[in-house]
């Protein structure tokens, strides 16, 4: 810079310019910034404009912005694709279905108000979901299923239906409530019949739970058991075979089932079981047995007596199968 001023000074003196004039020109030019050449990048830089981004920085900013836009577009597309798939699955097998209607509206609004260019595929998914929520749900699904839902509920709105099986009643009502609540969250408008059914389910469920908790069910169980014991009888005999009857009385496990009091054959005749070649394998008759245990209680036991086929039209000796003990019975009713 000093060499430059010396050169200028010489030229001015030769041209007749005074030294005072030269100093005035010098003071005006001393603050001028001279552009520098960057050796590393071979780019001209200006000390007064260091805050301005370079072309490389601008390119990088644009690249990041574009990637963010693509990522955001993909996020929306993936979301609406997933919800459209769940909607189709709901139509086929009544699965849980897509997100709540209000959540769909919120997401759709967010997408619509975003500054990104809209994706045609995403717009198609949104259109499909609009049809699902506003057409299929209120016009097809609810109208076609409301009567079925009401039948499911009405069965358990009667005490005589759930008094003997309150837990089953609660289970069935919970299942119906789940279906109802699923419909409500997917519907854009309230359906009065669905709302009424939901309230009836909640009310009846509360009655059943109170019935369980206040001891009424325990009383019902005792009364039912007493009534069952009193009403239990052996079935009427369909045939008589003293050999079978005596075999049962002699061979039943008295320690396990009780001493036999009475045996009746409830089959009208011998039942023959054959193999695939139409050859007999065995024959049997069903029996019922009244027994009495050491504590004085009587029971109805069910079983069968059979004979194995030995060929030539002959059957072997008797054998017995005990199926199960049906339950206790009033000893006074053994012969009734």
pLDDT digits (tens, 9 = 90+) for 148-192: 999 999 999 999 999 999 999 999 999 999 999 999 999 998 999
Please state the domain extents for the chain. 2-42, 58-231, 235-333
DSSP class per residue in 202-249:
HHHHHHHHHHHHTSHHHHHHHHHHHHHHHH--PPPPSB--HHHHHHHH
In the numeric block, which tokens belong to residue 166?
Answer: 């309150």
Contacts of 238 (CB under 8 A, 6+ apart): 265, 266, 267, 268
Closest CA to 186 of 83, 112, 92: 83
The C-alpha atoms of residue 28 and residue 25 are separated, in whole angstroms, by 5
pLDDT score recorded for residue 22: 47
pTM attached to this predicted model: 0.62
Residue 308 CB burial class (10 angstroms; 0-12, 13-18, ≥19): middle
* C-alpha R_g of the chain: 47
Q: What residue ranges of the chain have pLDDT lower than 50?
A: 2, 4-5, 9, 12-18, 22, 37-48, 59
Q: What is the pLDDT of residue 42?
A: 46
Closest residue by Cα to residue 181 from 197, 158, 205, 203: 197
Residue 336 CA to residue 324 CA, distance in Å, equals: 21
- Alpha-carbon distances, residue 221 vs 72, 185, 225, 231 (angstroms): 62, 40, 6, 15
For the chain, what's the residue count? 336
Provide the CA 57 distance to its chain's centre, in angstroms.
Answer: 51
Structure tokens at 147: 């009567």
Q: Hey, is 310 helix, strand or coil?
A: strand
H or E element, residue 260: strand 259-265
267 close to 235: Cβ distance less than 8 angstroms: no
Residue pair 104/114 in contact by the 8 Å Cβ criterion: no
* 121/73 Cα distance (integer angstroms): 10
Q: What is the pLDDT of residue 26?
A: 52
- 97-117 pLDDT, tens per residue? 999 999 999 999 999 888 766
């Amino acid at each position: 810079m000093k060499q430059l001023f010396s050169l200028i000074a010489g030229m001015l003196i030769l041209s007749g310019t005074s030294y005072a004039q030269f100093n005035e020109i010098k003071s005006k030019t001393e603050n001028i910034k001279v552009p520098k050449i960057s050796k590393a990048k071979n780019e001209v830089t200006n000390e007064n404009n260091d805050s301005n981004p370079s072309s490389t920085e601008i390119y990088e900013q644009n690249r990041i912005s574009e990637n963010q836009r693509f990522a955001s577009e993909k996020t929306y597309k993936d979301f609406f694709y997933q919800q459209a798939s769940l909607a189709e699955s709901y139509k086929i097998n009544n699965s849980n279905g897509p997100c709540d209607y209000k959540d769909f509206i919120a997401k759709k609004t967010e997408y619509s108000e975003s500054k990104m260019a809209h994706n045609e595929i995403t717009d198609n998914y949104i259109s499909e979901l609009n049809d699902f929520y506003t057409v299929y749900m209120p016009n097809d699904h609810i109208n076609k299923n409301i009567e079925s839902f009401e039948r499911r509920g009405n069965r358990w709105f009667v005490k005589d239906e759930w008094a003997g099986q309150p837990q089953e009643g609660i289970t069935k009502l919970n299942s119906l409530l789940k279906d109802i609540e699923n419909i409500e969250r997917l519907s854009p408008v309230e359906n009065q019949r669905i709302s009424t059914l939901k309230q009836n389910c909640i009310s009846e469920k509360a009655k059943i739970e109170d019935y369980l908790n206040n001891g009424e069910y325990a009383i019902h169980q005792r009364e039912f058991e007493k009534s069952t014991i009193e009403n239990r009888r052996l079935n009427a005999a369909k045939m008589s075979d003293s050999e079978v009857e005596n075999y049962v009385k002699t061979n039943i496990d008295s320690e396990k089932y009780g001493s036999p009091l009475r045996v009746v054959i409830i089959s009208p005749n011998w039942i023959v079981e054959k193999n695939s070649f139409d050859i007999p394998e065995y024959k049997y008759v069903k029996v019922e047995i009244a027994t009495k245990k050491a504590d004085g209680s009587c029971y109805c036991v069910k079983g069968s007596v059979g004979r194995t086929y030995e060929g030539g039209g002959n059957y072997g000796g008797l054998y017995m199968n005990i199926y199960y003990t049906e339950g206790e019975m009033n000893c006074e009713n053994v012969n009734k």
